[in-house]
Structure 1
Amino acid sequence: MARADGVGAGRGCAELTGLQVVPVLGLPEVVAGDDLAELIAKADEYRDGDVLLVTSKILSKAEGRLVQAEDREAAIDAEAVRVVARRGRTRIVENRNGLVMAAAGVDASNTPPGTVLLLPEDPDASARALRAGLQRLTGRRLAVVVTDTFGRPWRNGLTDVAIGAAGLRVLDDHRGRRDSHGNELVLTVTATADELAAAGDLVKGKATGTPVAVVRGLAGAVTEEDGPGAAALVRPSADDLFRLGTSEAVREAVTLRRTVRSFTPEPVDPGAVRRAVAAAVTAPAPHHTTPWRFVLVESAEVRTRLLDAMLDAWRRDLAELDGWDEAKIARRTARGEVLRGAPYLVVPCLVMDGSHTYPDARRAAAEREMFVVAAGAGVQNLLVALAGEGYGSAWVSSTMFCRDTVRAALDLPAGWDPMGAVAVGRPAEPAAARAPRGVEAFIEVR
């Protein structure tokens, strides 16, 4: 389709209402050291307010990002800072610029054997340098968007997105505006740079050898300053609800599960605890039983009554059975303050309903051990799920030493055996870094 002014007739121009997207034809094969601004400036005539969409591959080539790499996987390792998801040999990773994409953008297509092409080291910096050169050579006020091809969660097919930008409002914030019915927009922020990148791909294509396109008719989005670039499009990890694949999320939640002994006073969401309990009761159990019960201590009054009764029982036992003096008892019972300082308690209990009865002590003991192991698996599920909800926890064994006292304080059936207590809350301080623990010391292979 030809542009309204006749320029670009027969050049695969895509025209929308008031907006024209035109390929820049005739660019030579780019190699390391080429002055890309000069090549693009000579290839077409530009106007104030034009937005140039530049495929990252030619920037990478001009910047010498073609590297020797017999092993593409090793190149991906070098470019990635975090594995987001993995399935077989396919990896979705985050690179040093915060871009989440397949294989860190490492490209082995259309490159000499034994080489791969890496993304520009800093796509925003590349966009700024290219824009400066183009404006100097053309005398025009331009914007530059560096594009690359991404897949998208929940959607088939690929599209181009912006990975670098200069001189463009990459985001158009509609919040506070009103729609045609007078409703205030509270969430809408349009990714203008990504929309332009996708539009440019309609005329650049994947196999035509046309790496640059021009968008005309959006001069209002072109800025005098370079601006924050495409970095503004990267969602902070704290706001990203989908930053991990399934197996990675499970592993991270397990890693995040740390014993927390100091909590903020922020109330705990009872719904989050119930979701964690729902995960807990998926644990394996013997004989198709459900040997778990979870007592949620949400009342401050009940928590105080429980902990006071436990403290009295502990002091009595330590004095009468162990012969400890008051100072030693005080030091020992101080460990229980982690429960008193938590805004929420969960008391997991073991029930033996459905267990088998054996006449000999050996098999009867083994039967109980199976149920105890199942209870532990349920508690582990609970702790991991709480970590996934953003809560810290501490599984404290103290209720197991005064079960009758706990049953009385919480009005529990005689057959419920408290298996410790779990303190729950927001951690008062970040967990200290923990070095990865090697597994070989815990493995024997036969």
Structure 2
Amino acid sequence: MGSSPGAGEGARAVPEGGAGAAPSFRVWAVGGMPEVRDGDDLAKLIAAAEPGLVDGDVLLVTSKIVSKAEGRIVEAADREAAIDAETVRVVARRGTLRIVENRQGLVMAAAGVDASNTPAGTVLLLPEDPDASARTIRDGLRDILGVQVGVVVTDTFGRPWRNGLTDVAIGAAGVRVLDDLRGGTDAYGNPLSATVVATADELASAGDLVKGKAEGLPVAVVRGLSHVVASDDEPGARTLVRSAADDMFRLGTSEAVREAVTLRRTVREFSDEPVDPGAVRRAVAAAVTAPAPHHTTPWRFVLLESAESRTRLLDAMREAWIEDLRRDGKSEESIAKRVRRGDVLRNAPYLVVPCLVMDGSHTYGDERRDTAEREMFVVAAGAGVQNFLVALAGERLGSAWVSSTMFCRPVVREVLSLPSSWDPLGAVAVGHGVGAPRERAVREAEGFIAVR
């Protein structure tokens, strides 16, 4: 980890020499950088420490000195409060450790708030706009040394599924941060359909090998990769941040469960998009993890996957419902209006009929205890249905739990050929909702709590 050219060599470069030259590059740490203070001009400090920069070099600048130069040191007796202030969204939490999305859109531990390499009682925040910081350094070096270089502002990240830390790019200017190889072929002629290389992150990691974490060497230079240096209008490192729509791992486990519960809405209008039967089966697998009395399994889920089975059931239920309403003395106009309310089931592309079974229940011969026994099983069945609805939301499927099958259980059993011991607990309409769900009214938990 020296301070002179040649301190490190590697591969993945376009040859700088003549034809047939082996790909190579050099990376070295810049020595002689002073302690950076608020208001310092980083371009001047870097130019003074490394005046031999040439066109095509890439500067790798640790975010800490950028933050110090930009006055991002704040007094903070409580680091947690500083993390709160920089946090936009909690991604995952385990004990005191928080993985969050910060104001810069970066997902990282503690929002990038750093209490190291800064005076006691203060913390260091990340640059407000790391891409703009990189542009300022690049422009300054062009003015001072007359060179066209790329600049990458780096910070240290942990990574899901991998132990250890590595430096990544959080800001960039004049660097092709992504190398899109899609549409090309590999050495065997196979098409490349998903290969987009995070070039800026690879550069950041190369610099970290010579800068280190505690050597006081905050800047490194990469030479021999001039093909990654680009014009001023090249997008910055913000391009490396995956959008929410493309992020399959957006939340930690407990946060994902809470979001799925929050996402669960009653959906009454569905699109024609088909429902993946596998997603419904995964939701059933979640449903049957609910607690139940006496180590029983009181849930059954009847999946109506064909239009014919759905129509046959709903037509039979409709006739039974109309008969009930006529016996209640309802007018034909009132009956027609009430029946239309049940169209949420008819318009859904997929129906599920959850059922309660009492297998394993105890009979006491005492009305009070037998009633309580059945209630235990009903509660367990409801817990299973709630699991099912939440799991559907996690699969990005909308649902509506409608109680209508409970009012005509004999009809449902007959149409679906169910055992007499299966008690239908309504029907769940499943599908892809049309439009955004309505905002749910805020319910403060305190309004539902009694403390003794």
TM band (smaller chain): over 0.9
Whole-Å separation in 1 of the counterparts to 2:326 and 2:143:
87
- Would the aligned equivalents of 2:171 and 2:238 in 1 still touch at CA under 8 Å? yes
Say whether 1:313 aligns with 2:309: no
Point out the more displaced range, 82-91 or 404-413. 404-413
**Deviations 1:69-89 (CA, angstroms, capped at 9, x unpaired):** 111111111111100110111
- In structure 2, the partner of 1:425 is 431
- The alpha-carbon distance between structure 1 residues 73 and 257, as it changes in their structure 2 partners (threshold 3 A), is same
Letter in 1 for 2:4: G
Say whether 1:230 aligns with 2:237: yes
Whole-Å separation in 1 of the counterparts to 2:400 and 2:154:
47
With normalisation by structure 1, the TM-score equals: 0.96
**Deviations 1:195-231 (CA, angstroms, capped at 9, x unpaired):** 0000100111111111000000110111122411111
Say whether 1:118 aligns with 2:125: yes
How far does residue 427 in structure 1 lie from its aligned partner after superposition?
0.9
- In structure 2, the partner of 1:257 is 264
Whole-Å separation in 2 of the counterparts to 1:59 and 1:435:
44
Whole-Å separation in 2 of the counterparts to 1:433 and 1:63:
40
**Deviations 1:84-138 (CA, angstroms, capped at 9, x unpaired):** 1101110000012221000000001121222111000111111112211111111
Please state whether the residue corresponding to 1:364 is helix, strand or coil: helix
Out of 7, 13, 18, the residue aligned to residue 13 of structure 1 is 7
Whole-Å separation in 2 of the counterparts to 1:425 and 1:129:
51
Out of 405, 412, 421, the residue aligned to residue 415 of structure 1 is 421
How far does residue 178 in structure 1 lie from its aligned partner after superposition?
1.2
Whole-Å separation in 2 of the counterparts to 1:401 and 1:125:
65
Letter in 2 for 1:334: R
Whole-Å separation in 2 of the counterparts to 1:419 and 1:432:
26
Please state whether the residue corresponding to 1:158 is helix, strand or coil: strand
How far does residue 436 in structure 1 lie from its aligned partner after superposition?
4.3
- In structure 2, the partner of 1:297 is 304
- In structure 1, the partner of 2:336 is 330
**Deviations 1:346-369 (CA, angstroms, capped at 9, x unpaired):** 000001111111211111111110
Out of 254, 264, 285, the residue aligned to residue 247 of structure 1 is 254
Out of 86, 98, 102, the residue aligned to residue 95 of structure 1 is 102
Out of 366, 370, 380, the residue aligned to residue 372 of structure 2 is 366
Whole-Å separation in 2 of the counterparts to 1:30 and 1:434:
50
How far does residue 249 in structure 1 lie from its aligned partner after superposition?
0.7
- Would the aligned equivalents of 1:168 and 1:226 in 2 still touch at CA under 8 Å? no
- The alpha-carbon distance between structure 1 residues 442 and 175, as it changes in their structure 2 partners (threshold 3 A), is same
- In structure 2, the partner of 1:275 is 282
Whole-Å separation in 1 of the counterparts to 2:228 and 2:310:
59
- In structure 2, the partner of 1:128 is 135
**Deviations 1:287-333 (CA, angstroms, capped at 9, x unpaired):** 1111111000011011011111111111110111x111011112222
How far does residue 406 in structure 1 lie from its aligned partner after superposition?
1.0
**Deviations 1:138-159 (CA, angstroms, capped at 9, x unpaired):** 1111110000000111111111
Please state whether the residue corresponding to 1:31 is helix, strand or coil: coil
Whole-Å separation in 2 of the counterparts to 1:41 and 1:356:
84
- Would the aligned equivalents of 1:282 and 1:378 in 2 still touch at CA under 8 Å? yes
How far does residue 435 in structure 1 lie from its aligned partner after superposition?
5.3
- In structure 2, the partner of 1:214 is 221
Say whether 1:49 aligns with 2:56: yes
- In structure 1, the partner of 2:383 is 377
Whole-Å separation in 1 of the counterparts to 2:358 and 2:439:
39
- In structure 2, the partner of 1:203 is 210
- Would the aligned equivalents of 2:269 and 2:433 in 1 still touch at CA under 8 Å? yes
With normalisation by structure 2, the TM-score equals: 0.95
Say whether 1:441 aligns with 2:447: yes
- RMSD of aligned alpha carbons: 1.3
- In structure 1, the partner of 2:164 is 157
- Would the aligned equivalents of 1:128 and 1:226 in 2 still touch at CA under 8 Å? no
- The alpha-carbon distance between structure 1 residues 128 and 201, as it changes in their structure 2 partners (threshold 3 A), is same
Please state whether the residue corresponding to 1:162 is helix, strand or coil: strand
Please state whether the residue corresponding to 2:36 is helix, strand or coil: coil
Please state whether the residue corresponding to 2:88 is helix, strand or coil: strand
- The alpha-carbon distance between structure 1 residues 149 and 303, as it changes in their structure 2 partners (threshold 3 A), is same
- In structure 2, the partner of 1:183 is 190
**Deviations 1:333-384 (CA, angstroms, capped at 9, x unpaired):** 2221111111000000001111111211111111110110011010011001
- In structure 1, the partner of 2:20 is none
What residue ranges of structure 2 are gaps of 5+ in the alignment? 12-23
- Would the aligned equivalents of 2:4 and 2:30 in 1 still touch at CA under 8 Å? no
- The alpha-carbon distance between structure 1 residues 234 and 435, as it changes in their structure 2 partners (threshold 3 A), is farther
Letter in 2 for 1:121: E
What residue ranges of structure 1 are gaps of 5+ in the alignment? none
